[in-house]
Copies of this chain bind each other. A is one copy, B any other.
Amino acid sequence: MTPKTFWAIIKDECKRFGSGSQRVTVTLKDIARQVNRSVTTVSRALHDYTDVSPETRALVRRTAEELGYVPNVVARRLQKQRADAVGLILPSYGPRLSDPLFGDMLSAAVEEITRAGLDLLVSIAHCPEDEVEPYYQRVGERRVDSVWIVHTRCHDARIAYLLERRVPFVASGRVLEDWVFPCVDVDYVRGMHSLVSHLAQLGHRRIAFASDSAELTFVHYQREGFRRAVRDCALEVIEDLIVEGSPTQRGGYDAAQTLLSRRNPPTAIIAGNDLMALGVMSAIQDQGLEVGSDVAVAGFGDIPLAETSHPSLTTVRLPTQQMGKLVGQMLVMSACGQEIPNPYKLLKPALIIRQSTNLDLWL
């Protein structure tokens, strides 16, 4: 027996009955030894190859079961040259993990990803500079096969970078450039149209829009949709009534205060998201006005709170689950190196009318 063989055996034994409390690691080699076959045959038996005899297959499977064999995915990944994982790096400027709509989308995506046997890696960028490089980094290191870009900006450095380097990715959100890449988004123009039409029908003529920064693509489309819808309803676009604020309750509160102090205040305020809309409602109430009668309010998203707030909030429901599911499926495909047949999906939102624009409801 050569020294080499000797040490190999010792090491194997150590691993098997390890230092006291260690878990044992069963490999293909262990099964092979047990059933007196080669590692190759064992591997094929476990993968249901046709060129292995039924008896051998049965024996191998049984032995694997008995020994508690669990395949080592890292070894498989190295051999297959695939990470079997996709990455999500949350941008530093939101959405936070705590955003309920994002959570919904994420859950649906995770479902699809894990169903396909892939892992989802989550990390967080600390600063804007930190946003671009890590994507490429993680793919280069073979940590992930594809990445998920969320919360796109109108001109998004991450997407330019990934396209240039040919890193597989899927974006939830569009960019304004005319680039082709896998992308899932909501038709905000359409959503805004239904909302503005609703308000115009109720007789509102001075409608305001308060939102996050228009650098974000979805805000851009909300604004564009807002302007177009106002004109479509034969109303005048009043630029003074289009304001920007942080995408929080406080941001909505402050924006509403600004709007209500205009010489000619609006009779309806649309917010870019539901949290801002709740802040808008607070501001209106704090001024002694009534939401729904004095000033109508509407949001975007349909978070759970929209239904239970006082008054309940009219909003544009975003198909978060559907988005997440689609993104997940597309991520799986792109991670597997497949072409994505129709890579540009635009989903339709739904107008949910509640008391904040129509106090007669459920009263």
| Chain B residues near A253 (CB-CB < 8 A) | 308
Evaluate contact between A142 and B22: CB separation under 8 angstroms. no
| Chain B residues near A98 (CB-CB < 8 A) | 98-104, 107
Q: A103-B103, A107-B97 are in contact. Are A143 and B308 (CB under 8 A)?
A: no
State which residues 99-143 of A face B: CB under 8 Å.
Answer: 99-104, 106-107, 110-111, 114, 119-124, 137, 140-143
| Chain B residues near A308 (CB-CB < 8 A) | 249-250, 253, 278-279, 282
Evaluate contact between B166 and A23: CB separation under 8 angstroms. yes
Q: Does A72 contact B (CB under 8 A)?
A: yes
Q: Does A96 contact B (CB under 8 A)?
A: yes
Partner of A23, one of B22, B122, B165: B165
Q: A74-B142, A98-B100, A110-B124 are in contact. Are A166 and B22 (CB under 8 A)?
A: yes
Evaluate contact between B70 and A141: CB separation under 8 angstroms. yes
| Chain B residues near A75 (CB-CB < 8 A) | 78, 142
State which residues 261-311 of A face B: CB under 8 Å.
Answer: 278-279, 282, 285, 304-305, 308, 310
Evaluate contact between B70 and A74: CB separation under 8 angstroms. no
Evaluate contact between A124 and B107: CB separation under 8 angstroms. yes
Size of the A side of the interface (Cβ < 8 Å), in residues, is 53
Please report the C-alpha to C-alpha distance between residue A242 and residue B166 in the assembled complex, in whole angstroms: 59
Evaluate contact between B143 and A73: CB separation under 8 angstroms. yes
- Supplied contacts A74-B143, A97-B97, A121-B121, 11 more A-B pairs, CB within 8 Å: A22-B166, A70-B140, A72-B142, A78-B78, A98-B99, A99-B103, A100-B100, A107-B124, A120-B123, A305-B305, A310-B310
A-B contact pairs, 27 of them (CB 8 A): A23-B165, A70-B137, A74-B74, A74-B77, A74-B78, A74-B143, A75-B78, A85-B121, A96-B103, A97-B103, A98-B99, A98-B100, A98-B102, A98-B103, A98-B104, A98-B107, A99-B103, A103-B103, A119-B143, A120-B122, A121-B121, A122-B122, A248-B304, A249-B305, A253-B308, A282-B310, A310-B310
